[in-house]
Structure 1
Amino acid sequence: MAIETSFTGKTALVTGAASGIGAACARWLDKQGIGRLVLVDRDAEGLSALPLSCEIERHAGDVSDPAFWQKLEGDLGKIDHAVINAGIADGATIRDASFDHWRRIMAVNLDGAFLSLQVAMRTMGSGGSVVMLGSVSGVKPMAGASAYSASKAGLIHLAKIAALEGAPDGIRVNVIAPGGVDTAIWDDNPDFTKMVEDMGREQALAAMASATPSGRFASAEEIAQSIGFLLSDAAGNITGAVLASDGGFSL
């Protein structure tokens, strides 16, 4: 079965869609013939800049805000697929992290994922597929990323519960767990910024990827293709799974 037959005329929700993996997913789904995309991000300008050919609804808002989802849910109509991708990353050890740091990461990565998932499953009704953006750090403990890793571990368990609850209604829920991905999320990391100043972006990425068996970071487009597979009818018997796309980092 050709994957594109899974999406023709369907509607997909993508959060964190203005850049990186979310934008790559929107572009991929557009190429597969998706009928309608509902795109969510805090970055209204980034959402507007996405060149897509399908019907598009752009919603600028904070995924961790229940009022945003309450307002949006009434206007969504039926959703067939959802990519719950919105997230932020920041590093701090348990000893050094402030509670504000902890709550900021949890609010977007876990609270936002819960609210997005809740609305997606409600609007799917009977039948549908969801992919949630986890991380290899939610599977493999990583020092210095306490809040981020904990948020992604919580997201993975949330997705498995959703897979159990959604199964009677034909709703599949899976997780993609990337390792290093070349996206703008690194640009807010002061250590990476310093590396870029010293050696350039390509060499900085290569240096960071040296601990990965494949020796490289993935592109956002590669991750989008894996997400597309999990969303599609080709993965119709897969639910509650965590697919690592990490170049072997978790081995």
Structure 2
Amino acid sequence: MLKVQLQCVRGLHFTSRRNNFFSWFKSKKQQEVQVQDTKDVIKDIESGKSQVDSGNPHDRTKLDLTPSNFIGQQSEDLEKGIRDQQVKNVEFNRWLSIKKVNTEKQLDAILNESWKLATGNGTPSLDQSFPDLVSKFKFSKNLQSKTGYMVPDFQITVSKTPQHFKDYYIKEILSGKLLKFKESEPNAIDLSEKDYGSPNVYIVNDIATKERNRKFGKIIKEVHALEQENLRNVVEGTKRG
């Protein structure tokens, strides 16, 4: 019987050396590129001592890129300056007078001036209707410009005579009502049924806070009374049973 004997030989292999963190940090520190101040680089270039680019990026001298070494302005600051200058040169048309009308006498004078400008005639009768839409437009524009207050488009549409405009100014502006107007509040617009003659328009008038609290307290008292009466009936029914 033939016996075959196999002999195993352990192979020899090599691994790379493992360095610790400090050896890695030391190697990186040796590879640091020298940073030279911009002024020194310029002096070296002017004197002919500048290094020749050898193709190795580690042999190149890096500039110290600090804000003081840059010439010119930041693009954001430059654009902002251009926009500010453009806005400054725009001529805005301020057609409303800064001085506001505050008396009925001033209002009458402006009404007469606006009528004369719109129609070319003298002092008007306040109940006289406008001859056409063009004169009405000129009248309302000058009236708003001189008084310093704008008139809503709806009011201009429904106004047929200068008296209508005067009534609006007295009721809404000279009375101080406009100063109390705050658009951010839900009840800023004061509406009433007398402002609308159409039968299909129904407006629920606002109820004062005091009146609402009084009615609410009355309702709560009635609810408590009903609960007490119901409880009393239940107790009496239990006793009878």
Structure (1/2) with the larger strand percentage: 1
Same fold (TM over 0.5): no
Higher relative contact order (CA 8 A, sep 6+): 1
TM-score of the two chains, using structure 1 as the length reference: 0.19
